[in-house]
Chains A and B, each alone.
Chain A
Amino acid sequence: MISTAVIFSALELGFVYALVALALFLSYRVLNIADMTTDGAFTLGCAVSATVALAGHPLLAFPAAMAAGVCAGFVTAFFQTRLKIPSILAGIITNTGLYTVNLAIMSFSSNVNLMGKDTLFTLVQPHLGAVYKLLPAMGITLAAGAALVLFLMTRLGLSVRATGDNPDMVRASSINTAFTITVGLCLSNALTALSGAVLAQYQKTADINLGTGMVIIGLASLIIGETLLPRGKLWVKALGAVLGSILYRFIIALALRMDLPSECLKLISATIVALAIGLPAIQDALKPATKGGKAKC
């Protein structure tokens, strides 16, 4: 029914996309901002990674993609904190602009092919054998996750967390929220772009549409992870995001196995996210009915 190859590819993709779940953990959960830059930043990472791998060196592609992600996050943060554009709109504006930027990076072609070229994975293949895709993907994600958790424990990280947790408190303390929001969005988009960068080399191609719907996929993974590990310290929550991403990929693999057309997947993801985020409101709405009508005032 499910072959080892399917399990391996679900694990590999799960780790690669887990970087997006970690990015959303930072922007959506920690900073309390729904960052719509995510889709564009993911494609940006793909485009930069493929282009740099072709023209330069595949390993150089990762820092380059992350730097590009930082820039994308900075633009969104600038719109939000300096130009006072509402956070969701700020992300959508950046995302729209990134479409052209991403095309430009790929020399105005809608895809870049890496077939027959060196990638991170082909470089390590002779040394790692069968796990040449799994180990690097896992290593990058776990290292990025650990770095994120450590960062959130530093003075700057604590300030970023407080910014999302209690704006009232932050206004009365010596934290410049414009700065902490900028730092948070730069880091989260660097993680998203890194995810795109790894994926482009993993599947040896970058495509202008790879990032479409990525924010919803990332949120679905994050929420699945929170269901798996509902409470705990920071590193438990970060681990939850990674596990959620892996589980999400297994759900997708199963769905594909059941001959569900792949076009349906986005609708399923959207439904999962809508239900999961709306669950508290749904529970509230159902409560009075089950309790048989409490006093209304």
Chain B
Amino acid sequence: MLTLRNLSKTFNPGTVNEKAALTGIDLHLDKGDFLTILGSNGAGKSTLFGAIAGSFVVDSGSIHLDGRNITNLPDYKRSKYIGRLFQDPLKGTAPNMTIEENLALAYLRASQAHSPFSMITKADRRDFRERLAMLELGLEDRMDHPVGLLSGGQRQALTLLMATLVTPKLLLLDEHTAALDPATGEKVLALTERIVAQNRITCLMITHNIPSALRLGNRTLMMKDGRIVLELAGKQRAGMTPEQLLQAFREQGISNDRIEFSAQ
């Protein structure tokens, strides 16, 4: 499904700020894989997402999605197949457009069949309503409200819905619950789990929370200095407790306060 071969990226090469953000990353995901990624700040997790989504061109290596080489495809062409959520809930929605218009934008751009001049139909609107109702946030009755009036958690839930309205080939979640209060974060996380499972979406999720890294998904990666230093799957992962994983972190010398707190 997704294959990364020997991916490398160095920022500001040849300057004092030179930073090898990714070094020889090899990774393969099968359809339906849900991979959680742990690592300290600056480990290259977000850079990895940037490389997959096409925010920059990688220095070497290749990226294949669903058998197609997308290494040099511009970001806006990749995002037809790749949904992406950021930590900042304000980044994923247009505040002065209504909930319905935001959904329409996501729907009309992701589905291939529409001409540039197509508009949302009554049937689409009913569909949006049903999907919004599944979020259980009462948004289905506020479809003509500007998104700017929603809370961070509501906006992030809406962004998640928009990213999966037309099922993407790949979903990238970059600490998408970290900026929310714990209760809302849990709710959005449960929602993520449900939507990903229902649509069997191949998914990568960056988190600093060790229990959710183990609980969600079927594989876990640990990154350090632009490399993958530990990969857990299958029985080894199933038998792992948060405490043991934390220990592994400490052994790599990459633990930090956020990770320590989350494991308690």
Contacts and interface: CB of A to CB of B under 8 A. Distances in A.
B203 to A, nearest CB: 16
Contact of B119 (A155, A159, A161, A172): A155
A125 interface: no
Contacts of A155: 104-105, 108-109, 114-119
B107 to A, nearest CB: 9
Given A154-B118, A165-B96, A165-B97, A159 B91 contact: no
Nearest to A161: B97
A166 B93 contact: yes
Contact of A168 (B75, B91, B144): B91
Interface string A161-181: 110011011011111110000
B110 A174 contact: yes
A173 B83 CA distance: 8
Interface in B71-117: 74-80, 84, 86, 88, 90-97, 101, 104-106, 108-110, 114-117
Contacts of B114: 155
Contacts of A176: 74, 76
A154 B96 contact: no
Interface in A137-190: 151, 153-156, 158-159, 161-162, 165-166, 168-169, 171-177
A174 B117 contact: no
- By DSSP majority rule, is chain B's interface helix, strand, loop, or mixed? loop
B94 A161 contact: yes
A166 B96 CA distance: 9
Contacts of A169: 91-94
Contacts of A162: 94, 97, 105
B53 A172 contact: yes
A250 B76 CA distance: 47
B116 A171 contact: no
Nearest to B104: A158
Given A172-B84, A174-B77, A165 B95 contact: yes
A171 B92 CA distance: 10
Nearest to B98: A233
Contacts of B84: 172
A247 to B, nearest CB: 24
Given A155-B117, A155-B119, A162-B97, A174 B109 contact: yes
B80 A174 contact: yes
A74 B35 CA distance: 45
Nearest to A151: B117
Nearest to B55: A171
Nearest to B96: A165
Nearest to B146: A231
A158 B119 CA distance: 9
Contacts of B109: 155, 159, 173-175
A31 B88 CA distance: 23
Contacts of A158: 97, 101, 104-105, 108
Nearest to B93: A169
A175 B102 CA distance: 13
Given A165-B95, A172-B86, A174-B79, A154 B101 contact: no
Contact of B117 (A156, A165, A173, A177): A156
A175 B74 CA distance: 11
B26 to A, nearest CB: 25
Interface string B236-248: 0000000000000
Contacts of B91: 166, 168-169, 172
A153 B124 CA distance: 14
Given A168-B91, A169-B92, A156 B116 contact: yes
In the complex, the 3 A-B pairs of residues with the closest C-beta atoms, listed nearest first: A155-B108, A165-B94, A156-B116
Given A161-B97, A162-B97, A175-B109, 17 more contacts: A153-B119, A154-B119, A155-B109, A155-B116, A155-B118, A156-B117, A158-B97, A162-B105, A165-B95, A169-B91, A169-B94, A172-B84, A172-B92, A173-B76, A173-B106, A176-B74, A177-B76
12 contacts: A154-B119, A155-B105, A158-B101, A159-B109, A165-B97, A166-B93, A168-B90, A171-B75, A172-B84, A173-B79, A174-B76, A175-B76
Interface of A: 151, 153-156, 158-159, 161-162, 165-166, 168-169, 171-177, 233
Interface of B: 53, 55, 74-80, 84, 86, 88, 90-97, 101, 104-106, 108-110, 114-119, 144
